[in-house]
Amino acid sequence: MRIPSRSGRSRLAASVTTLIAAATVIGLALAAPSAFQNGSFETSTIGGGGSVLSLATGSTQITGWTVAQGSVDYVNTVDWAAADGSYSVDLGGGSSGSQNGATIGGISQTFLTTVGQTYTVQFDMGGNPRNTPAIKHMTVSAAGTSATYAIDTTGFASNNVGWTTYTFTFTATATSTTLAFTDVEKTTAGAVLDNVHVLVPVSGKVFEDVNYGGGAGRNATTALAAGGTGRSGVRVELYDSTGAFVSATTTAAGGTYSFNVDVADTYTVRVVNSTVTSGRSGAVATLLPVQTYRTNASSGTAVAVTDHVGGETPTWSVTATAVPLDALVR
């Protein structure tokens, strides 16, 4: 992750510290977990065909996922619109034979995690209304934590599953974690799942380095020890790897901010200079600050970038779309 430099007067700085799960495994067996993947179930070895394909216990046909118990149905848009893309999964699998819903269905994925890191799992849940019971339940579990979610399909048309977004939070206790979604009822029309994202916080601090004397930028610890202050009320913006604006937040007391970001993407955090105030006596509010410090966490660890003091053109617009992001980070 990169913090773009902006310019103007002097002595403002920002830092980002974050953890994004490492995505590369080198020299390990094929069974070794990788980063979380295919949360929308769009990738599989199944290909086209009918509207529903039942997958039995042990199936790994949906890339990254394993049918952990019972059977599940891999569903395309002929039956109902996916929450994202073209495919979703009905945890109540099958209609006959061994895949008759007699055993509760569930799927799971094991992926790399950082011990002690808290993850937020965001997912869309629906309910297949084509069989009893009317109220579908689904349990989500990971790292010894679980929660159960419900959706009432009463009154749903057969092609409506009532997609609803939920979140589930767990803290990793190992370097890989198995995330499981399990139906609760024995049925051939169960809870439906799509659009799973694993999110981690990206947090940082916007601070004023009042005694910055030039040269390499200084980090928050050094600047605050030298009389600097964290700056609240600053607009901080998040951009994804394509440069698209994602969201914005405002720094809290002490200059802190935090975003939840998808472990499957990389991001840039941008501080909007015109919203940064100075704590300096006699400061002129209309003057723009200049960024003196940032970090780059593209390696998975925040690394100081101290050679961009001064930043770029301070008059550039601070609106989300007015300036191409690559113009800000070169």
List of residues contacting Ca ion (CB under 5 A): 40-41, 82, 84-85, 87, 194
The smaller minimum CB distance to Ca ion, of residues 198 and 206, is found at: 198
Q: Could you tell me the CA-to-CA distances from 312 to 275, 289, 292, 320 in Å, in that order?
A: 17, 11, 11, 17
In whole angstroms, the minimum distance from the beta carbon of 42 to Ca ion comes to: 5
Select 74 or 257, whichever has its Cβ closest to Ca ion.
74
Do residues 33 and 49 make contact, with C-beta atoms less than 8 angstroms apart? no
End-to-end CA distance of the chain: give it in Å, rounded.
13
CB of 185 to Ca ion, least distance (A): 23
Locus of tokens 């799509």: 194
Measured from the Cβ of residue 132, the count of other Cβ atoms closer than 10 Å reads: 12
Q: Which is nearer to Ca ion, 87 or 293 (CB)?
A: 87
Question: Alpha-carbon distance 295 to 297, whole Å?
Answer: 6
3-class DSSP state of 166: strand
How many angstroms separate the CA atoms of 51 and 77, rounded? 7
The C-alpha atoms of residue 8 and residue 317 are separated, in whole angstroms, by 13
Contacts of 246 (CB under 8 A, 6+ apart): 238, 239, 240, 259, 261, 267
How far apart (Å, rounded) are the C-alpha atoms in residues 49 and 261? 34
Distance of closest approach, residue 82 Cβ to Ca ion, in angstroms: 4
Q: What is the DSSP letter of 223?
A: H
Complex with Ca ion: residue 44 or 141, whichever CB lies closer = 44
Please say which residue, 8 or 106, places its beta carbon nearer to Ca ion.
Answer: 106
Nearer to Ca ion, 84 or 240 (CB): 84
Structure tokens at 94: 């099958």
- Pairing state of beta strands 135-142 and 176-183? antiparallel
CB of residue 75 vs Ca ion: minimum separation in angstroms?
Answer: 9
Nearest distance from C-beta of residue 240 to Ca ion, angstroms: 19
Residues in the chain: 330
Helical ranges in 61-168 per DSSP H: none
For Ca ion, which is the closer residue by CB, 89 or 236? 89
Rank residues 265 and 326 by Cβ distance to Ca ion and give the closer one.
Answer: 265
Q: In the complex, what is the shortest distance from the CB of residue 196 to Ca ion, in angstroms, rounded to a whole number?
A: 9
In angstroms, what is the minimal distance from the CB of 182 to Ca ion? 19
CB of 158 to Ca ion, least distance (A): 19
Closest to Ca ion by CB, 193 or 210: 193
**Burial (CB count <10 Å: 0-12, 13-18, 19+), residue 283:** middle
Provide the minimum distance between the beta carbon of 124 and Ca ion in the complex, in angstroms, as a whole number. Answer: 9
**Which amino acid belongs to residue 229?**
T
Cα angle value 321/322/326 (rounded, 5°): 80
